[in-house]
Amino acid sequence: MAVLFVGLGVWQLARNTHKHRLVAREKAAYANPAPDVATAGPRTADGTRLAATGTFDGAHETVLRNRVRNDNVGVDVLTPLRLSDGTAVLVDRGWVRASASSGVTTDPPPGGTAVVHGIAHQTNPLSSQDTVDHLPDGRLAVPRVDLNAIGRTLPYRLRPVWIEAQAISPAPHGNAPALPQPPPPDPVNHLEYAIEWFAFAMIPLVGWPIVLRRLLRQRQRAAATSSNTASTASTAPVASRS
């Protein structure tokens, strides 16, 4: 039985390794070549992969408020990427756990030339019920990405689509916004199951010696009791028949 449990634990470890390799492969694919943003127009479909090369303008950032990840509320940081032709594309650099009311603390975007790969999205105009807030540091906090509204606050023209970044080079570090991660191939925690199977394997390996030791002690006690009884019987005085 212990051999079976160990085998199941090894199988779960192999599944865990395989899953992490798949996730790493998907994450590496985020940086695969994609059409340049210059080829994208107003009719570019949501979900189209694009690439852009330019310089981030951290002085004109906007935050997209009320974004939820893993049951935590935060904001997405939207930073213009200045392109070589003088225009810019708005880039969602990732998520930060924060709120528009408490302020947003994050590292600035990479300096120098940056390359962004990600997913294109169309503009989403603000409605009459939407409100635009201002953070204490002056950044806008919006409920949706309205490129026209955000563009009016910038000294240059925005491209007609914005990019949800999947990979940025140079790679962000420190307190930079968190980029999206590939979803796991399945929701099973294989490492946890492996630990459970190995624990089950330890039960017969550790339990049987304990049981055998107890049985041996019981037999030794029974033998000692029998020996004492026999010794008492042999030394008892014999009654006279007169």
25 or 126, which is more confident: 126
pLDDT tens readout for residues 40-52: 887 889 989 999 9
Lowest mean pLDDT among 25-34, 62-71, 152-161, 231-240: 231-240
56 C-beta neighbours (distance < 10 Å), count: 23
Q: What pairing do the DSSP bridges indicate for beta strands 113-122 and 49-56?
A: antiparallel
> Max alpha carbon distance in the chain (Å)?
135
Phi/psi of residue 216, each to 5°? -65, -40
Q: Do the Cβ atoms of 80 and 157 come closer than 8 Å?
A: no
204 C-beta neighbours (distance < 10 Å), count: 14
Confidence of residue 205 (pLDDT cuts 50, 70, 90): low
pLDDT at residue 234 tops 80: no
Share of the chain above pLDDT 70, in %: 63
Highest averaged pLDDT of the listed ranges 17-31, 172-186, 190-204, 221-235: 172-186
